[in-house]
Chain A
Amino acid sequence: MSIVALVAKWAIPVILFTVTLYAFIRRVNVYEAFIEGAHEGFGTAIKTIPFLVAMFVAISVFRASGAMELFTKLISPVTSLFGIPAEVIPLGIMRPLSGGGALGITAELIKTFGPDSFIGRLASTLQGSTDTTFFVLTLYFGSVGVTRYRYSVISGLSADITGFIASVIVCNIVFR
């Protein structure tokens, strides 16, 4: 763990140092190359705006209207059959849609139940082992103008569902 944390801390400074020095030795005009690359940054970021606006508007309306709560209530009888605590269901549904929203729920659960409670540990594991799939797809595809995602929504969501179920199972084994 400490080695991994050390790598994470040093990775970017080391990359910056090595790349610039190596490029300089290889007689690349480092400054000009940097400017040329950075120039594209603006365009790429701006290009994602329509895609992100579309996705965030839909998610925001879905959440604020109470539709997400309703959805959670509808599926919780099914999920409780599999030993999934009802408290973490909103987190499971929010996770692929909104990173900030999911983090809010996780923080709330940890505060309410305590970080070392079963719910607290499960919520922590869930947060770390699933991803904001819709957001990532919207951002990445949006940056190159792709509007037809083909099967990537299905593969992304199946990975999230697996991460969710695997978290519940492993937490039940380790922390119960």
Chain B
Amino acid sequence: MVNLIWVSMLIIGITVAAINGNIEVVTTAALSGAQTAVDFALGLIAIMAFWLGIMKVAEEAGVIRLISRLVKPLTSFLFPSVPKDHPAMGAIIMNLSANVLGLGNAATPMGLIAMKELQKLNRYSPNTASDAMCTFLALNTSCITLIPATIIGIRIKTGSANPTEIVGTTIFATACSMIVAILADRILRRVFSYRRWR
């Protein structure tokens, strides 16, 4: 799937550039894209080191296990394949809470920690997504946002009379997408059961 999307974006992009007569943009665009990716990853080192450090402290003190136990009823419904008080649950919950609060800098490291924990539980081959990973990412990308901080900032800067009036509509729309994400994940999990996918 990703293979197909990736190839089509490249091939279509290069073809359109050739037809439009600006083939020279392809090379610049490719290299600037690579540069953006590396810059992002390097920036990630700082926040990852910081949050992984704090998370290790929390884990050794037993905080992660405690959080996992507190949210057990919800998570055992969403992630039937993950043991109830596994540290993955703690990281998943912290990632989703950070997302809800619009704390992007904290959300990413928590999410990557959750993926690492889920990978330990992956019963399939390590290069294939497990059911729990798919559910986690469906929730992550569709999660309700209570404070769309960036957009409120732009609205304030451009002189909006009521910068926060879009909060209600945003919450409604994300609630819809979250419901669809959970349903789609449930249905697709059956359709794409691992044995068939191989």
Contact = CB atoms under 8 A, between A and B. Distances in A.
A15 B141 CA distance: 24
Question: Chain A at the B interface: mostly helix, strand, loop or mixed?
Answer: helix
A167 B141 CA distance: 16
Interface of B: 1-2, 5-6, 9-10, 12-17, 20, 22, 25-26, 28-30, 32-34, 36-38, 40-42, 44-46, 48-63, 97-98, 101-103, 106, 108-109, 111-112, 115-116, 118-119, 126-129, 133-134, 137-138, 140-143, 145-151, 154-155, 158-170, 172-174, 176-181, 184-185, 188-189, 191-192, 194, 197
A159 interface: yes
B13 A65 contact: yes
Interface in A29-67: 30, 33-42, 44-46, 48-49, 52-67
15 contacts: A23-B58, A38-B56, A45-B42, A45-B44, A53-B38, A57-B34, A110-B158, A120-B155, A128-B148, A128-B170, A129-B169, A143-B112, A148-B129, A155-B181, A163-B173
Interface of A: 1, 4-5, 7-8, 11-12, 15-16, 19-20, 22-23, 26, 28, 30, 33-42, 44-46, 48-49, 52-67, 70, 100, 103, 106-107, 110-111, 114-116, 120-121, 124-134, 136-137, 139-141, 143-156, 158-160, 162-163, 166-167, 170-171, 174-175
A48 B17 CA distance: 29
B191 A151 contact: yes
Contacts of A59: 9, 33
A163 B160 contact: no
A1 B115 CA distance: 31
Q: Name the residue in B50, B57, B119, B176 with the highest tally of chain A Cβ atoms < 10 Å from its Cβ.
A: B57
A67 B108 contact: no
Nearest to B4: A153
